[in-house]
Structure formats: structure tokens, C-alpha cells
Structure 1
Amino acid sequence: MSRAPNLRQIEALKAIVECGTVSRAADVLHISQPAVSKLLSHLEQDTGLQLFDRVRGRLIPTVQGMRLYHEVDRVFVGIKQIGRAVDLIKREELGQISIGVMPALAGRLISQTNRRFLKTHRETYVSVVIRSSQFIVDWLISKQVDVGIINRNTDNAYIECAPMRSGNFVCIMPKDHVLSEKDEITPADIDGQPFIALGADNRVRQKIEMALEGSGVRLNYIMDVTLAPAVCEMVAEGLGISIVDPLFAYGQRDRLSIKQFTPCIASDLSLCWLRGTQNQGIVDDYVEAARITVKDIVQHGTYTPDY
């Protein structure tokens, strides 16, 4: 009765066929030539097959030998595929993270978050996609990004969302503005003041207008721009005042006078990620890096390195 060959015997068969000689097979297997010959002899005994013809001191594979070799080779190809699958899984879990961020946050916040994250994940490849909040939500659902930084919440059951906790909206003005002496700004204070806004269809602008409904205040719009950082730039240049998320304002505290605004308008900037992702560990670490960076920007106006 034939016995199943062991792995070392199979490796010897494969090496002899591919190398052509016992001496080369021995080099590949890092064993002696007699050891290779012994493995081959035991393989033929165990299988009951004549795998090689001995012709003038050389081993020539028989038809049976080649048939067995092809089966062996097929198995080894499968093993290599398993190895590649292992590498892919490791890359997905440990080596790469994709971040979706709305355009207004694609500057200081994302660069400083990446800097903090990469200090402890030097081998991780970070990909940043800059798109609208709705686009990022769609990409989260389709698993094309791992983390989203957006200006809204989502009620999708598969997406986890957490507020970025940047605080309530603030009123910003040039350093030498007449209102800069006040500790807190109210709707009455900004009545008629040159006001720089986001576009008319922007959710943040609509949120500000809703908060001022019933106050009798007339916002004196003189300009609108697409992104909140651009609003801050215009205000810093002395063109008017505005109301913005504190994350944008505190990043430019050296150029702006920043005052609390009443009534409170809560920030709705959110960190979102898909539940149960394969690389959940690095996703969690990135989210934490973003939270710490937001806190740094709000408190200090910049990234504070960890030592």
C-alpha cells in the first residue's frame, strides 16, 4: 500500500525537475546530494511510482513523474496565492488609510492631523480625498474611504459619527475693529456691519440666518466666498466681519479678533467612519489624532507636538 509523501519529499521532486540535476537541487534545498537522492528514493517507494529514469548518471522525469510534478506545482502556486492574500490583508489592516475631507478643512487641520498620526504610524500610507460632505458619505458607505471629516451628521446605520467638538460659532473681525473691545458679540452689535458670508446655498450660512431669525438684525452682506478659510482671510484684511466655526477662526488667531457670539450656534463638524472596518485599529488611531489636533488648534491656534 502506498503512503502519502511528506513535504520534504515533494520539495525534492520539484527541485530536481526545475533544476535539472541533483547537485543544483541540493543547493536550492540547502542539503547534501545524498540527502536529495534519499528523499527521492523514499518518495518512489512511498508512492509506488517510478518518477525518474536513470540515464548515464542523470535523472530524467518519467511520464508519471511529470504528472506528479504538475500537481505539485499547482499546489505550490496555490500556496503562493495564500501568501499574497496574507500580504494584502496586512496592508489593509496595518498599512493604508484613506481620508475624505471637505475642501474647507483640507488645509491646516488635515495636514496637522496627518503629522500627528504619522509620528506613531510611520509605515502607514495615507491617502487624502478632498470632496463635498455628501460625496464623502457616499464613499464611506462604498468603503472607498476609511474616515470622513464633514460638516453634517448622517443617520446611516453603518456609519459611526462623532462631533469634532470645536465649540460654538464665533464672531471674527479685524484686530482694530470697533467691536474688538467687547467680550461677547450679540445680533444687535453686528446689525448693519459689513458682513462676509459663505454662498447663499451653503448650509452654514443658512444655519446662521436661522439663528438670527426674529432678532430684527439685518446682515449687511458685502461679499460671499466658497470656503470658510477664505472668509477668515477677507476679514483679516479688514473687509468686514463674519461668523464662523471656531476651528477656522482659532487657526488664525494672530490675525483676527475672535469673540464669542450669542445666541450660541453649535458647530456640526463631524468625524465619521464605517463600523467594523478591516483596518479598525488605525482608523481609531486616526480619529483620535484628529480629535487631539482640533483641541490643539482651538486652544493654541496650531499643532502641539507630543514629546
Structure 2
Amino acid sequence: MDIRQLNYFITLINEQTYTKAASILHISQPSLSAAIKKLEEEIGLILIDRSERQLQMTQEGRILYQEAQKLLHHFEHVSFEMDRLKRQGPLKLSVGLIESSMFFVPDILNRFKQEYRDVRISLLETLSLSDVKNALNNFDIDLAITNQYIHQEDIETIPIYEENLVALIPLGHALSREGPLQIHDLEGEDFIVCKEGFQTREDILNAFSKSGVKPNIQFEIERFETGCTLVEDGLGITVVPENYVRYSNQTNCVIKKVDDANISRIVYLAYDRNRFQPPIVLRFIELLKAFFT
């Protein structure tokens, strides 16, 4: 099994006919058919269900198709990167971020830019678990700073720090005049929380559950900024990372500590452990780790 055979197989599945796939691959239809059969013989599995009139993959074929796509993406990325390094050197770094990471990322970027002045840096918001996975798997980012622990064998997920979550209360609300809150103080209040698929939502709802409190969810959001705006307009209470409000410009609501050991979250560094990592990516990872050591 080699890259050429995998490319033939992927092209056939994408085009759904031997005629179209052979034309794109610039080979004859019999040659393509023979190549697919040879691939099946080499791996000892049937990939195409030939009992169907339309081209259909077997279960084994679907698995190979998914994994082969990743492999070809990786191969193309490495080939491109090697060629670019020969011609230009390392000039680009892409980092996926969550909102609260901006309290430390500029400091690391300043240090990084002192060493690599000519590198163009892309900062992309990758908030949900699917955002992070897709960005890493599709090579949109080199690494991610995320509060999602990624259960994927080829993704390295390293904890870098833990932060408390705090409550944001509208000005003039009865709870704004209280001291530190308990989770049960939020029971019955109109509540604003991240939508499903966001780890912060799970962290918050788990803390509520452990305290025996069911939140009165009225709004589901994607960004903490939206939650803060809703709180400022008196539409409810939300819980956000302490570092987000500490380093943001949101000041028109009351920040309250929540005295509960369960209400916190962990922030991770995530990257593809099997991907070729250029020296600039490895250096950024070193600086990131050093910042929290």
C-alpha cells in the first residue's frame, strides 16, 4: 500500500465512477480498476461492495477512506512545508485560541517576535470541541490553547493552568450587594450559559449538579462577550473564567467570587503529535510551557 494507491482509492470514492476518477487521475479505467483490486489484495480486505449497482464502500472501505484522507493531508502538508522551508524559511504560525487566553498570549507573542520577527502569525478563535478538532485535523492551526480535553489518540493535550470561574451579576441586582456567593444562591435566577459542545458549559453544569442545584437556563451563547452584554442589560446571570473578566473591558456588571471548590476549569495546550512541527512551532510551545512553569 502506497500513497499513489490511496490517492486512487480516495479519488474513486469522491467521483463515484471509475470513468470520472480515471479521467482525473489521467489513467485508463481498466488500470484504475486493477489498482483498486491490487490494493484490496495487498491489505487483505474488500473495500468496494461490488454487489451494488452504485459504487458503495464496505465498512472496511469507509475506515480506510477516512484514515487515508488524513494521511494524504499530512503528506501534502509535509511536502509543502519542506518545499517552503527550502525557499523561504519558517514564516507562518497559526494558533487556535479561547477568549480568556488573551491575558497571557500577548506576552508570549512579544517574546516569540523578538526571536522570529518575520513570522506572520494567525490567531483563530477555536471555542468548541468540534472547532478545535476540525482546525487541527484540517491543518488550519499548528496548535490550540483550549479548555477542551481532546480524547483523540493523535492529539497531545497538555494541561497548562487551572482558573476559577466567577459569577457576573447585573448592577442593582440583590445578589450584587452580597459577599462571595454559593452556587445555591444562583438557584432560580435567569441563567446564561454556553451552548452544548462547549467544555465551560459542562464545567458549570457539573458544579451545579454536585451542589444539587438545577440552573434556570434562559440563554445559550457561544462567546463570553455575548454573555457579559446580556448581564449588563439585566437579562440574567452568567459564570465565566476569572481571567476573562480580569483582562477584558467589561465593567458594567458586578463580579462575584463563587465559594465552591468544584467551579473551575483547566486550560490545555493541544497539538497533533504525529504531524511534522516546524522549529517555530516547537519554540512557541516551549515559550508557552515556560510561561506557566
1:227 aligned residue: 223
2:284 aligned residue: 286
Alpha-carbon spacing, 1:140–1:196, altered in 2? closer, same or farther (3 Å): closer
Distance of 1:231 and 1:291 partners within structure 2 = 30
Instruction: Give the drift of 1:195.
Output: 1.8
Alignment partner of 1:126 is 2:156 = no
Distance of 2:234 and 2:286 partners within structure 1 = 36
Alpha-carbon spacing, 1:217–1:276, altered in 2? closer, same or farther (3 Å): closer
Distance of 2:185 and 2:276 partners within structure 1 = 51
Deviations 1:268-301 (A, max 9, x none): 3322123375545422443466578899xxxxxx
Moved more, 280-289 or 179-188: 280-289
Alignment partner of 1:194 is 2:190 = yes
Distance of 2:242 and 2:183 partners within structure 1 = 18
Which of 158, 161, 165 is the matching residue for 2:154?
158
Deviations 1:13-34 (A, max 9, x none): xxxxxxxxxxxxxxxxxxxxxx
1:267 aligned residue: 265
Q: Is the contact between residue 166 and residue 240 of structure 2 (CA under 8 Å) also seen in structure 1?
A: yes
Query: How many residues are treated as equivalent by the alignment?
Result: 211
Alignment partner of 1:205 is 2:201 = yes
What TM-score, normalized to structure 1?
A: 0.54
SS in structure 2 of the partner of residue 145 of structure 1: coil
Distance of 1:182 and 1:111 partners within structure 2 = 35
Residue identity matched to 2:92: Q
Instruction: Give the drift of 1:123.
Output: 0.8
Alignment partner of 1:245 is 2:215 = no
Deviations 1:156-212 (A, max 9, x none): 343322234251222222355433444422122112223222235644324322322
Deviations 1:244-276 (A, max 9, x none): 222322233644433332142231332212337
Residue identity matched to 2:254: S
Q: Is the contact between residue 93 and residue 280 of structure 1 (CA under 8 Å) also seen in structure 2?
A: no
Alpha-carbon spacing, 1:206–1:276, altered in 2? closer, same or farther (3 Å): closer
Alpha-carbon spacing, 1:206–1:277, altered in 2? closer, same or farther (3 Å): closer
Distance of 2:112 and 2:86 partners within structure 1 = 19
Distance of 1:85 and 1:193 partners within structure 2 = 53
Distance of 1:142 and 1:200 partners within structure 2 = 23
Residue identity matched to 2:118: E
Residue identity matched to 1:245: P
SS in structure 2 of the partner of residue 167 of structure 1: strand
Distance of 2:231 and 2:108 partners within structure 1 = 26
Alignment partner of 1:95 is 2:91 = yes
Instruction: Give the drift of 1:127.
Output: 2.6
Q: Is the contact between residue 172 and residue 249 of structure 1 (CA under 8 Å) also seen in structure 2?
A: no
Alpha-carbon spacing, 1:250–1:188, altered in 2? closer, same or farther (3 Å): same
Alignment partner of 1:137 is 2:128 = no
Distance of 2:266 and 2:274 partners within structure 1 = 24
What TM-score, normalized to structure 2?
A: 0.56
Q: Is the contact between residue 99 and residue 127 of structure 1 (CA under 8 Å) also seen in structure 2?
A: yes
Q: Is the contact between residue 101 and residue 133 of structure 1 (CA under 8 Å) also seen in structure 2?
A: no
Alpha-carbon spacing, 1:232–1:108, altered in 2? closer, same or farther (3 Å): farther
Distance of 2:228 and 2:157 partners within structure 1 = 27
SS in structure 1 of the partner of residue 175 of structure 2: helix
* Structure 2: unaligned runs, 5 residues or longer: 1-79
RMSD over equivalenced CA pairs, Å: 3.9
Q: Is the contact between residue 165 and residue 242 of structure 2 (CA under 8 Å) also seen in structure 1?
A: yes
Distance of 2:196 and 2:83 partners within structure 1 = 49
Distance of 2:229 and 2:88 partners within structure 1 = 39
Distance of 2:292 and 2:254 partners within structure 1 = 19
2:16 aligned residue: none
Distance of 1:143 and 1:116 partners within structure 2 = 25
Alpha-carbon spacing, 1:231–1:189, altered in 2? closer, same or farther (3 Å): same
SS in structure 2 of the partner of residue 123 of structure 1: coil
Larger radius of gyration: 1
Distance of 1:277 and 1:200 partners within structure 2 = 29
Distance of 2:251 and 2:190 partners within structure 1 = 21
